[in-house]
Structure 1
Amino acid sequence: MAEKSKERIADGRWLVAATVGLTLCVAGTEYERYTALWVFETRSVAELASIVVYFAAVLAVLVRRTLKSKSRLYRCKPLLVGLAVVQTAGLAGRCMQAAGVSLGEPFSVIVSVSMHCASILFVLYAEFFLDVGVRKAVSSFAFAIAGAGVLQILVLGFDWTVSIALLFLFVPISIGLLIWSDSRYGPGAREVEREDIAAEVRDSESFARDYPFWEYCTSIALLEVLLIALHSTVMVTQDSGGASFTIQVTSGIGTLVAGAIFYALLRYLQETEFLELLRILVLPLVLVALYISALFGASGVPLYLVPLAVAYSILLLFVWTVPRNYRKGNAPFVFTCIAYFSYRAGWALGIFGIMILPNRYGELLETGIILAAFSVLLVSSAIRLLKYRRNSARRLDEAREVAELQANTDIAFSEACARVAKRFQLTSREGEVLVLLARGRNARHIAESLVISDGTARTHIMHIYQKMEISSQQVLMDIVDDELRAVMGERDGATSFPISSDRR
């Protein structure tokens, strides 16, 4: 007993460690949230292009290796160590820039690209959690998002040098926890999770059919453009002082709120309902944030940063969760890579269209881009809502037809069993046993259903076989099937009938 208890505790430790590691990973992917530590200049076209090409190249290599070898990339320790080294070097370069050291444009581009290695680590964490049931995966994500928000706030309580030192530890510790979690994720726990994933795959078939993957990727990219439009207002007010402090605290609170909302909703909703609710919620959140930013300008930054942080978290949750519903070829990791690239491509497109082009061609272009992105999202959401209602009505009609057919079949089946029992002069108790035998049940199940002993159930079965002059359950089922055909034929003249799946 004690050993089993220790085993359960050990089985739970891998999930706790992975959740903590994911928390540090999420914090590491968004160092720019720590606005009180440094001020960033507007990015250049070369920098954006380099980051997009970097993501496209790395994710393409990961996808190619996954499809070719079917191996789990999160187990490749050289890859993980390489990400940690490059990320740390990029963060060191950023610190030099914050200290006033001019690195020149080529090195600045290299620094920016290097700091995105934690994003690749996030994708690898997503691959790890693809081997975990969806509810545990989303719960861990909710805790990780909330934890990242808490870290944003807590880091402000330290001296600048201490805070920077802590940031350096995020990704290395996150990688160490990923390796440790994988080593502790034993065969027993994996087998349990496989059963949950198998059920999840069956449930997600209709989801993948109704919601094209490209549509979700496009929505993620366009929503990111709108979020960058809001973020651009924040970046103008950064001063590494009081304003940045307020931004960081408010953003951390918003992220913490998002994690709490995710976890609360997941407890009361099914996975598809959960995602659909968040998908519907994200546009109103962006609209509220846009309205507040337009109404109050820079003075309203703390007000709209909370819905902005929640919307960011929802997008990241889509990247984390939606690819699980597209397991074509048993390679959902491929869809994870594509979804995350859409997320980052939207980020780059937003910075280019909202923060770079308007400086050259006027602010009207920024307004046009925002209106175009919002219009496309609004129209696509309306079309999606209409399709969803149409599909829901169709499924409801199909379910009603199946239920009616099942009810009619069950009634006819009961009548067929009654006729067989009467023909062979079975007792009332033997008639009850006959129904269960005709449904393919064994003696133990019959005993549990009728609340009798196994011996009594076997005695009833023996008497039934003797009276019907048969020697096997299959022959009994065939006799009931013939009688059921006769009953159905009398009812509607059918020559065949659907046999309830419960009978076999």
Structure 2
Amino acid sequence: MAAGGSKAQGSGGGWFVAATIGLALCIAGTEYERYTALWVFETRSVAELASIVLFIAAVLAVLVNRTLRRKERFYRNKPFLAVFAAVQTAGLAGRCAQAMGIAFSEPISIAVSVAMHCASILFVVYAEFFLDVGVRKAVSAFAFGIAGAGVLQILVLAFEWQVAVGALVLFVPGSVGLLMWSDAQYLDGMREVEREDIAAEVRDSEGFARDFPFWEYCISIALLEVLLIALHSTVMVTQDSGDASFVIQVTSGIGTLIAGAVFYALVRYLQETEFLELLRILVLPLVLVGLYVSALFGASGVPLYLVPLAVAYSILLLFVWTVPRNYRKGNTPFVFTCIAYFSYRAGWALGVYGIMILPDRFGDLLGTAIVLVVFSVLLISSAVRLLQFRRNSARRIDKAKEAAELQANTDIAFAEACARVSRRYQLTPREGEVLVLLARGRNARHIAEALVISDGTARTHIMHIYQKMELNSQQVLMDIVDAELREVMREVQ
């Protein structure tokens, strides 16, 4: 038995490590545009932006529909994963061709951009896989995954351009392969253990879901992404596929690595609700610092505001990864994951359109106005949410006190009711103690353990009580005590 347990434990460690490495590759695959030392990206067109958003929306809608109808697990659908990996790799190949100077027509260029976003769908599928494990293990995997993506972002600079691109091409296929292997190693016995943790997690998340409406989190994610695009647009103008891009990539990787380390440290010492609320409070000041530094130093201060930018990006992804776990209506948190991720991408599209495209047509003042409006909305909503959170916390404390007082009064009344029944039927002190436990529905074995007596002695006391009260069942005894309890409560009132 010990050997079997060791084997299961080892397998559990193996699947977790493999899935975490796969997640790191997946996150790196969704953020190719951070690898700015390899190529420079031009501002997207409205048609390209709309095509990407429609593609992501359509795929997520299919996932949601099939999840609700068939309860399908997409991380087990190998053809689905293989097709998305192949399409995404083809898109990356097209992007490499563009970087080498090969010109494509506008429809093909749009198709290349759309194909590269298949990695985004893979991130959602990884989130689905980790919905089957406890929240702390899932957050730990994300922390290591985001840190690993940062390390990859730095390491890729150590190689020649051709070698680096070859490594990037392997990210998503490697991620898919590791996900398949992890699922095969994730045994049914491990799932049963995780279900116990998830059941407790569901109970704990009920209060969170009441206090924090899901739509509010989605809007916050979208608006924060708009602000991050404003910062990202400042970085883009400094890209040169040379030294400046090299500094950008290293700094961004360091910021992502820092974010992973912070997440792992915090989740070890905080409750899940505290952890999420702390990050929610921190993300807006991080964005404000980045905006201030970018306005103060401009292109010369890119390394200074790229770190808060990378941390804020990581926090938003963590919200998508974690928050839907608290909304399990109909036992379909994956549906909420899809909606949260679409909010993240919708914010990205709004940011690119409002910060990068519209100002080119109507002036930079429009982009500044959009940033101010979005920041003001987030600041006001955060202040209102903080007040509501404190008010709800105070109400919960008052309710807990009232419940404790009511329980104490009920216990006193119950003890008095049992004492009256004991006196009425002339029970001995020990029989009175047994009566209290019988009235609470306890059996002979429990009574023996509670009073530290043998089973035979407990049964003898029970028999004497039944004889003196002229009863033949425990239910009748409980009814007598309940009637006496109601009388005591009426006297108290």
TM-score range, shorter chain: over 0.9
Q: Which residue of 2 aligns with 1:501?
A: none
**In the alignment, is residue 2 of structure 1 matched against residue 3 of structure 2?**
yes
Q: Who is 1:49 aligned against?
A: 50
Structure 2 unaligned residues grouped into runs of 5+: none
Q: Hey, what's the Cα distance between the residues in 1 that align with 2:410 and 2:65?
A: 51
Cα deviation for residue 274 of structure 1 reads: 1.6
Match of 1:292 in 2: 293
Using the TM superposition, give the Cα deviation of residue 127 of structure 1 relative to its aligned residue in structure 2, in angstroms.
1.4
User: What TM-score, normalized by structure 1, do the two folds share?
Assistant: 0.93
Which residue in 2 is equivalent to 1:366? 367
| Inter-partner Cα distance in structure 1 for 2:445 and 2:252 | 60
Q: Secondary structure at the match of 1:237?
A: coil
* 2:249 aligned partner: 248
Tell which deviates more after alignment, 52-61 or 63-72: 63-72
**Within 1, Cα distance between the matches of 2:212 and 2:334?**
18
Shift of 1:415: 2.1
Distance 2:182 2:427 in 1: 61
What secondary structure, in the 3-state scheme, does the structure 2 residue paired with 1:232 have? helix
> Structure 1 residues 238 and 456 mapped into 2: Cα distance closer, same or farther (>3 Å)?
farther
Relative distance call for 1:451 and 1:307 in structure 2 (3 A) is farther
Pair 1:447–1:155, CA change in 2 (3 A): farther
**Which residue is equivalent to 2:349?**
348
Q: What is the CA-CA distance between 1:71 and the residue it aligns to?
A: 1.3
The one-letter code matched in structure 2 to 1:282 is: V
Q: Summarize the Cα distance change of 1:332–1:412 in structure 2 as closer, same or farther, 3 Å threshold.
A: same
CA shift digits 1:193-222 (9 cap, x unpaired) = 223223322332332233222221111111
Q: Secondary structure at the match of 1:39?
A: coil
Distance 1:434 1:221 in 2: 61
* CA displacement, residues 73-113 of structure 1 (integer Å, 9 cap, x when unaligned): 22211110001101111111111122222223222211111
Aligned pairs for 1:67-466 (under 5 A) are 67-466=68-467
Q: What runs of 5+ residues in structure 1 fail to find an aligned partner? A: 493-504
Q: Distance in 2 between matches of 1:219 and 1:477?
A: 54
Matches of 2:151 and 2:473 in 1, distance apart?
A: 66
Q: How many residues align?
A: 492
Letter of the 1:367 counterpart: T
Query: Percent identity between the aligned chains?
Result: 80
1:473-484 aligned at under 5 Å gives the runs 473-484=474-485
The structure-2 alpha-carbon separation of the partners of 1:285 and 1:413, relative to structure 1 and needing over 3 Å to count, comes to: same
Q: 1:120-147: per-residue Cα shift (whole Å, max 9, x none)?
A: 0011111122222222222211221121
Task: Compute the RMSD of aligned alpha carbons.
Answer: 1.9
CA distance in 1, matches of 2:472, 2:310: 70
**Aligned-residue offset at 1:463:** 4.1
Amino acid at match of 2:20: T
Secondary structure, counterpart of 2:42 in structure 1: coil
One-letter code aligned to 2:344? Y
What is the letter of the counterpart of residue 378 of structure 1?
Answer: L
Which deviates further from its counterpart, 423-432 or 28-37? 423-432
Q: Deviations over 1:157-183 (max 9, x none)?
A: 233222222211111111112112222
Shift of 1:226: 0.2
Per-residue deviation at 1:453?
A: 4.4
Q: Which moved more, 1:424-433 or 1:18-27?
A: 424-433
Name which of structure 1's ranges 171-180 and 419-428 shifts more when overlaid on structure 2: 419-428
One-letter amino acid of the counterpart of residue 431, structure 1? G
Change (3 A) 1:291 1:72: same
How far off its partner does 1:366 sit?
1.0
State the alpha-carbon separation in 1 of the partners of residues 152 and 32 from structure 2.
Answer: 11
- Once residues 283 and 458 of structure 2 are traced to their aligned partners in structure 1, the CA distance between those partners, rounded to angstroms, is 58
Mapped to 2, the partners of 1:456 and 1:159 lie a distance apart of 84
**2-structure distance, mates of 1:322, 1:365:** 33
After TM superposition, give the deviation of residue 467 of structure 1 in Å: 4.1
From the superposition, tell whether residues 11 and 463 of structure 1 become closer, same or farther in structure 2 (CA, over 3 Å).
Answer: farther
Structure-2 separation of matches of 1:465 and 1:12: 57
TM-score, L = length of structure 2: 0.94
Distance 1:264 1:473 in 2: 53
Letter in 2 for 1:80: L
Amino acid of the residue matched to residue 52 of structure 1? V
Higher mean displacement: 438-447 or 314-323: 438-447
SS in 2 for 1:26: helix
